[in-house]
Protein backbone atom coordinates (compact mmCIF):
# COMPACT_ATOMS: atom_id res chain seq x y z
CA UNK A 1 0.00 0.00 0.00
CA UNK A 2 1.22 3.47 -0.85
CA UNK A 3 2.29 5.32 2.29
CA UNK A 4 2.78 8.80 0.84
CA UNK A 5 -0.03 11.04 -0.30
CA UNK A 6 0.22 11.81 -4.00
CA UNK A 7 -1.04 15.32 -3.29
CA UNK A 8 1.68 15.74 -0.65
CA UNK A 9 4.24 14.79 -3.30
CA UNK A 10 2.70 17.12 -5.89
CA UNK A 11 1.50 14.22 -8.08
CA UNK A 12 -2.23 14.06 -7.35
CA UNK A 13 -4.79 13.23 -10.03
CA UNK A 14 -6.01 16.84 -9.97
CA UNK A 15 -2.86 18.50 -8.65
CA UNK A 16 -3.35 21.73 -10.61
CA UNK A 17 -6.96 22.09 -9.46
CA UNK A 18 -5.94 21.15 -5.92
CA UNK A 19 -3.41 23.99 -5.95
CA UNK A 20 -5.97 26.47 -7.23
CA UNK A 21 -8.57 25.42 -4.68
CA UNK A 22 -5.97 25.43 -1.88
CA UNK A 23 -5.27 29.09 -2.58
CA UNK A 24 -8.84 29.78 -1.43
CA UNK A 25 -8.13 28.35 2.04
CA UNK A 26 -8.06 31.16 4.63
CA UNK A 27 -4.89 31.63 6.70
CA UNK A 28 -6.85 30.91 9.88
CA UNK A 29 -10.20 29.38 10.65
CA UNK A 30 -12.63 27.48 8.49
CA UNK A 31 -13.36 28.28 4.86
CA UNK A 32 -16.75 29.71 3.99
CA UNK A 33 -17.21 27.43 0.99
CA UNK A 34 -17.93 23.80 2.02
CA UNK A 35 -15.76 22.30 -0.74
CA UNK A 36 -12.80 24.50 0.16
CA UNK A 37 -13.38 23.56 3.80
CA UNK A 38 -13.17 19.83 2.99
CA UNK A 39 -9.87 20.41 1.17
CA UNK A 40 -8.63 22.50 4.11
CA UNK A 41 -9.33 19.74 6.62
CA UNK A 42 -7.87 17.01 4.39
CA UNK A 43 -4.78 19.11 3.68
CA UNK A 44 -4.34 19.82 7.38
CA UNK A 45 -4.62 16.11 8.17
CA UNK A 46 -1.98 15.28 5.56
CA UNK A 47 0.24 18.02 7.00
CA UNK A 48 -0.35 16.72 10.52
CA UNK A 49 0.73 13.21 9.52
CA UNK A 50 3.83 14.15 7.52
CA UNK A 51 5.07 17.15 9.54
CA UNK A 52 3.93 16.33 13.08
CA UNK A 53 3.90 12.51 12.88
CA UNK A 54 0.19 12.60 13.73
CA UNK A 55 1.11 13.47 17.29
CA UNK A 56 -1.58 16.12 17.69
CA UNK A 57 -4.43 13.72 16.88
CA UNK A 58 -4.24 12.15 20.31
CA UNK A 59 -3.46 13.60 23.71
CA UNK A 60 -2.87 12.49 27.25
CA UNK A 61 -5.11 14.11 29.84
CA UNK A 62 -2.88 15.82 32.41
CA UNK A 63 -5.16 14.96 35.33
CA UNK A 64 -6.32 11.42 34.57
CA UNK A 65 -3.30 10.39 32.43
CA UNK A 66 -5.88 8.91 30.06
CA UNK A 67 -5.19 9.02 26.32
CA UNK A 68 -7.97 10.38 24.17
CA UNK A 69 -8.48 11.69 20.69
CA UNK A 70 -7.93 15.42 20.44
CA UNK A 71 -11.50 16.85 20.42
CA UNK A 72 -10.63 19.56 17.89
CA UNK A 73 -9.37 16.96 15.42
CA UNK A 74 -12.32 14.70 16.12
CA UNK A 75 -14.73 17.51 15.21
CA UNK A 76 -12.78 18.32 12.04
CA UNK A 77 -12.70 14.69 10.93
CA UNK A 78 -16.43 14.23 11.55
CA UNK A 79 -17.01 17.31 9.38
CA UNK A 80 -15.63 15.39 6.39
CA UNK A 81 -18.65 13.07 6.26
CA UNK A 82 -20.60 13.78 3.07
CA UNK A 83 -22.64 11.85 0.54
CA UNK A 84 -22.11 14.60 -2.05
CA UNK A 85 -18.77 13.31 -3.36
CA UNK A 86 -19.64 9.76 -4.38
CA UNK A 87 -19.20 6.21 -3.16
CA UNK A 88 -15.40 6.11 -3.35
CA UNK A 89 -15.18 9.21 -1.14
CA UNK A 90 -17.59 7.67 1.38
CA UNK A 91 -15.74 4.35 1.43
CA UNK A 92 -12.44 6.17 1.94
CA UNK A 93 -13.99 8.24 4.76
CA UNK A 94 -15.03 5.14 6.67
CA UNK A 95 -11.69 3.43 6.01
CA UNK A 96 -9.97 6.56 7.33
CA UNK A 97 -11.92 6.19 10.58
CA UNK A 98 -11.07 2.46 10.79
CA UNK A 99 -7.36 3.28 10.63
CA UNK A 100 -7.66 6.16 13.11
CA UNK A 101 -9.68 4.00 15.52
CA UNK A 102 -7.14 1.15 15.29
CA UNK A 103 -4.29 3.59 15.85
CA UNK A 104 -6.07 5.16 18.81
CA UNK A 105 -6.69 1.76 20.35
CA UNK A 106 -3.02 0.83 19.95
CA UNK A 107 -1.92 4.12 21.54
CA UNK A 108 -4.41 3.69 24.37
CA UNK A 109 -3.30 0.11 25.08
CA UNK A 110 0.44 0.73 24.90
CA UNK A 111 0.45 4.26 26.31
CA UNK A 112 2.98 5.11 23.62
CA UNK A 113 2.70 7.60 20.79
CA UNK A 114 5.77 6.20 19.01
CA UNK A 115 3.88 4.14 16.43
CA UNK A 116 1.33 6.80 15.48
CA UNK A 117 2.96 8.05 12.28
CA UNK A 118 3.70 4.57 10.92
CA UNK A 119 0.09 3.56 11.45
CA UNK A 120 -1.32 6.80 10.05
CA UNK A 121 0.77 6.57 6.88
CA UNK A 122 -1.76 3.94 5.79
CA UNK A 123 -4.25 6.82 5.46
CA UNK A 124 -2.46 8.27 2.41
CA UNK A 125 -4.40 6.55 -0.40
CA UNK A 126 -7.73 7.16 1.35
CA UNK A 127 -7.03 10.85 1.86
CA UNK A 128 -6.04 11.12 -1.80
CA UNK A 129 -9.30 9.39 -2.79
CA UNK A 130 -11.25 11.86 -0.68
CA UNK A 131 -9.46 14.83 -2.25
CA UNK A 132 -10.19 13.35 -5.69
CA UNK A 133 -13.87 13.05 -4.75
CA UNK A 134 -14.13 16.68 -3.70
CA UNK A 135 -12.30 17.84 -6.82
CA UNK A 136 -14.39 15.62 -9.13
CA UNK A 137 -17.46 17.33 -7.72
CA UNK A 138 -15.99 20.84 -7.85
CA UNK A 139 -14.79 20.43 -11.44
CA UNK A 140 -18.26 19.32 -12.53
CA UNK A 141 -20.47 21.58 -10.38
CA UNK A 142 -18.28 24.52 -9.29
CA UNK A 143 -15.57 24.96 -11.93
CA UNK A 144 -15.20 28.60 -10.91
CA UNK A 145 -13.44 27.42 -7.73
CA UNK A 146 -10.61 25.84 -9.73
CA UNK A 147 -10.37 28.32 -12.59
CA UNK A 148 -12.13 26.20 -15.19
CA distance 125 to 3: 7
Give the global pTM.
0.92
Q: Is residue 124 a part of any domain in this protein?
A: yes
Tens of pLDDT along the chain (148 residues) come to: 456 789 999 999 999 999 999 999 999 999 999 999 999 999 999 999 988 888 899 888 888 888 888 999 999 999 999 989 999 999 999 999 999 999 988 888 888 877 788 888 899 999 999 999 999 999 999 999 998 7
Is residue 72 helix, strand or coil? helix
Q: Is residue 92 a part of any domain in this protein?
A: yes
Q: Is residue 134 a part of any domain in this protein?
A: yes
Q: Is residue 3 a part of any domain in this protein?
A: no
Domain that holds residue 19: 15-146
Q: Is residue 9 a part of any domain in this protein?
A: no
Q: Is residue 2 a part of any domain in this protein?
A: no
CA distance 39 to 52: 19
Q: Is residue 106 a part of any domain in this protein?
A: yes
Amino acid sequence: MEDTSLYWEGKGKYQKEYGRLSRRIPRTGPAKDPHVEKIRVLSNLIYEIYNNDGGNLFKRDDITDRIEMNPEWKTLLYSLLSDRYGREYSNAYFKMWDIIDQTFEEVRQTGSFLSVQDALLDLAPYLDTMIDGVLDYVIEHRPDLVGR
